[in-house]
Amino acid sequence: MLSADRNQLVTRTGPVTACGRFMRCYWQPAALIVELDGPRPVKAVHLLGEHLVAFRDHAGRFGLVERACPHRGADLAYGRCEDGGLRCTFHGWLFDVTGRCIETPAEPEDSTLHLKVRVRSYPVVARGGILWAYMGEGDPPPFPAFDCFQAPETHTFAFKGLWECNWLQALEVGIDPAHASFLHRFFEDEDRAAAYGKQFRDASLDSDTPMTQLLREKARPIIGVEPTDYGIRITSTRKLDEQRTHVRVTNQVFPHGITIPLSQEMTITQWHVPVDDETCYWYTIFTSFTGPVDKERMRADRLKIYELPEYRSKKNRSNDYGFDAHDQATRTYTGMGEDINVHDQWAVEGQGRIHDRTRETLGTTDRAIGAYRRLLFRAIEQVEKDEAPLLCGGASDVEQITGPVTVDGICETAKVEGYAAEADARRRASSGWKVRR
C-alpha cells in the first residue's frame, strides 16, 4: 500500500514532475523502426506526456522533434518529408533531424531568420528494431550490454502494444511471478510445435514438462528478490516432488523494463513506457539464443490481435476483452483466449487508469513489487539530488552490464542454488552468436 502522495509521486511522468525527471535520465523507446519504413517515414509520437514527431530523412537519419512548429504552431506530424528534413505544410519552414531550421521559403531571399530558429529536438538512436529517444538533460547514458542489444539483428524481433493505464501498474504485472499460475492458466497443454514465439508454451528446460502444466499444478511459488546493478533478479521456485524443483529467474531492468524467459530458445525484454500518465506502450525485443528469429511469422501472429497504426489490441475494454464463458469453463482461466498479453492488459486496465494504491493489500507473493518500489523511490530521490540512478553511470560501468540471466527449468532440488547460473552458461556456450557474459 502507498499513501496518496507517494502514489502520485511514482505515477506522474510529465516534464516537471520528479518521476518524469527520473524517467528522462534513460533512453526511452519512442517508435518501432518499422513504423518509419515506407514512402512517408513520419510518425506522431506521444511520449512521457510530450507531443513529438519522429521522422527519417532522405539520408536515412532519424530525428525526433516537437510536434508544434516554432513559427506559428502548426502540426509537424502532417509535414512533408523532403529536401533533407521535415517541412511544415503551413508556410514551408524546413527542419533537419537535429531540429535546426534550414529554410524559411516565404521570407525575403536574404533573410537570416532561419539561423535563429530551432524546433526542440531529442537525440535518437536505433537499437534492436526500436527507435530510442533521450529526453533528459546533459549527455545520454550508454546502453548496457544486454543480450537484446548485443544479438545480431537477425536474432531479434521487436513489437509493441498499447495499454490504457499508467506505466507503473503495467510494469508491476511483469514482476509478479505468482499471477502466471492463475491469469495465464491453460487447462490443456499445447503441442510444442505450435508454440513458436509464445510465452509459457515451451517445455521447461531439462524436462519434458510443459510450462503451462507446471504453472497450473504448482501455484505457490517461493519468491526470492535480489538487488543488482541493473534492477532486481527475481527467483521463483516451485517444488515438484522430493527430488525436483522448478526454477524460474526473471528480472526487473531499470527504469521500467523486465527480462524474462519466453522459451528455451528466446527471451523477452519488455519496457513499459508512459505515453501519458493514463496510457502506456509495452515495447518488446524477443531475442533468440539459437537460430535467427522468423520475424515475418512473429509479426503476422501478433497482427492478428494488434491493429495498426496504434498497435491497439482488438480485444479490449470496449468488447470485454473477448470474454467468452465457454472458453473460461473449458480452455483458459480468464475466458479471453490464449494471448497472454490480452490477459495482462485486462488485469492492469481493470485497476483503473491510475491504480489507487492506497486501497491495495500486498501479500507475500508481491515481494518483488515492494522491492522495486523501494528502488524507485530511492532513484527518484537520487535524481532530485543530481546523483546518477541505476544504469545511468554513477559507480557502475553501464556498458559492462551484461545478461541478465533468465531461466525456466527443472533441476535436482539439491542443486537449486547454482542451477540458473549453470543453465545460463550452457545456453551462452551453445548460442548461435557470440554472447557476452
d(CA 235, CA 368): 10
How many binding residues for Fe ion (CB under 5 A)? 1
- Measured from the CB atom, the residue of 93 and 271 that comes closer to ligand FES is 93
- Measured from the CB atom, the residue of 71 and 127 that comes closer to ligand FES is 71
CB of 70 to ligand FES, least distance (A): 8
| DSSP secondary structure code for residue 265 in this structure | S
For residue 6, the partner it binds in ligand FES, Fe ion, none, with Cβ less than 5 to 8 A by kind, is none
d(CA 214, CA 220): 11
For residue 74, the partner it binds in Fe ion, ligand FES, none, with Cβ less than 5 to 8 A by kind, is ligand FES
d(CA 274, CA 281): 7
289, 382, 320: which is closest to 22 by C-alpha?
382
CB of 106 to ligand FES, least distance (A): 8
- Measured from the CB atom, the residue of 74 and 162 that comes closer to ligand FES is 74
CB of 114 to ligand FES, least distance (A): 11
Q: For CA atoms 136, 142, 145, 149, give the dihedral sign.
A: positive
- Measured from the CB atom, the residue of 9 and 77 that comes closer to ligand FES is 77
Cα of first residue to Cα of last residue in the chain, in angstroms, is: 37
- Measured from the CB atom, the residue of 344 and 408 that comes closer to Fe ion is 344
Which residues face 68 on adjacent strands?
A: 75
Helix (H, G, I), strand (E, B) or coil at 14: coil
For residue 90, the partner it binds in ligand FES, Fe ion, none, with Cβ less than 5 to 8 A by kind, is ligand FES
CB of 179 to Fe ion, least distance (A): 6
CB of 90 to ligand FES, least distance (A): 4
224-231 long-range contacts (CB < 8 A, ≥24 apart) are 224/367, 225/367, 225/368, 225/371, 227/371, 227/375, 228/404, 229/390, 229/391, 229/396, 229/401, 230/144, 230/146, 230/254, 230/390, 230/391, 230/401, 230/403, 230/404, 231/257, 231/372, 231/375, 231/390, 231/391
CB of 38 to ligand FES, least distance (A): 24
For residue 344, the partner it binds in Fe ion, ligand FES, none, with Cβ less than 5 to 8 A by kind, is Fe ion
Report the interface residues with ligand FES, using CB under 6 A.
69, 71-72, 74, 88, 90-91, 93
Helix (H, G, I), strand (E, B) or coil at 99: coil
- Measured from the CB atom, the residue of 72 and 220 that comes closer to ligand FES is 72
- Measured from the CB atom, the residue of 66 and 408 that comes closer to Fe ion is 408
CB of 348 to Fe ion, least distance (A): 9
CB of 161 to ligand FES, least distance (A): 33
Which residues face 225 on adjacent strands?
A: 234
Of residues 329 through 358, those in contact with Fe ion by CB under 5 A are 344
- Measured from the CB atom, the residue of 87 and 367 that comes closer to ligand FES is 87
Instruction: Give me the 297-336 binding string for Fe ion, x by CB under 5 A, dash otherwise.
Output: ----------------------------------------
Helix (H, G, I), strand (E, B) or coil at 34: helix
Of residues 375 through 404, those in contact with Fe ion by CB under 5 A are none
d(CA 4, CA 358): 6
